[in-house]
Amino acid sequence: MELEGIVSKRNETLYRSGRNKTSEIEPVIAEQARDQNGGLILMPDTFLLVHRAEITSLVGRYALPAVYPYSNYTKVGGLVSYGYDLLDNYRRAAIYADRILRGTEPSELPGSLERA
């Protein structure tokens, strides 16, 4: 189910912020903090990822509940993430590339490798 459907079933309000300027980050967070039931669910986005340290710092300063899309947000102060570790995906891709370059046929590779 899409996020809009979930929000409407819970009789809540969804606000989207398509901000892409650094100067617009704090006003959005401050606005959500003024709402008694405010909170943030950040979606995967390059702009947000680049500014994750500032975002997690502001969220902490405003005591706003927030959920982040990647685990690297938690490494700079975020409390909870629902996503995967980007660097781990790159490491796994390197393992696949190495095995292919050493002669393993791509069709022989498993869908997921065991973590070492």
| 17 lies in the same domain as 53 | yes
In this predicted model, what pLDDT tens digit does every residue of 46-77 receive, in sequence order? 899 999 999 999 999 999 999 999 888 998 99
- At residue 80, the 3 state secondary structure works out as strand
Question: At a CB cut-off of 8 Å and minimum separation 6, what does 60 contact?
Answer: 77
Report d(CA 10, CA 27) in Å as an integer: 26
| 90 lies in the same domain as 104 | yes
| 47 lies in the same domain as 27 | yes
In this predicted model, what pLDDT tens digit does every residue of 72-114 receive, in sequence order? 899 899 988 887 777 888 898 999 999 999 999 888 888 755 5
- The mean pLDDT of 17-41, rounded to a whole number, is 86
| 77 lies in the same domain as 90 | no
How many structural domains are present in the chain?
A: 2
| 78 lies in the same domain as 25 | yes
pLDDT of the residue at 114? 55
Expressed as residue numbers, the domain containing 101 is: 85-116
Q: Do residues 11 and 36 make contact, with C-beta atoms less than 8 angstroms apart?
A: no
pLDDT of the residue at 87? 83
Q: What percent of the chain has pLDDT over 70?
A: 92
Question: At a CB cut-off of 8 Å and minimum separation 6, what does 85 contact?
Answer: 70, 71, 72
pLDDT at residue 21 is higher than 90: no
Other beta carbons less than 10 A from residue 64's beta carbon: 17
| 77 lies in the same domain as 27 | yes
Query: pTM here?
Result: 0.68
| 79 lies in the same domain as 96 | no
pLDDT at residue 1 is higher than 70: no
| 78 lies in the same domain as 89 | no
Surface-to-core class of residue 105, CB atoms within 10 Å of its CB (0-12 exposed, 13-18 middle, 19+ buried): exposed
| 89 lies in the same domain as 76 | no
| 30 lies in the same domain as 46 | yes
| 57 lies in the same domain as 14 | yes
pLDDT of the residue at 113? 52
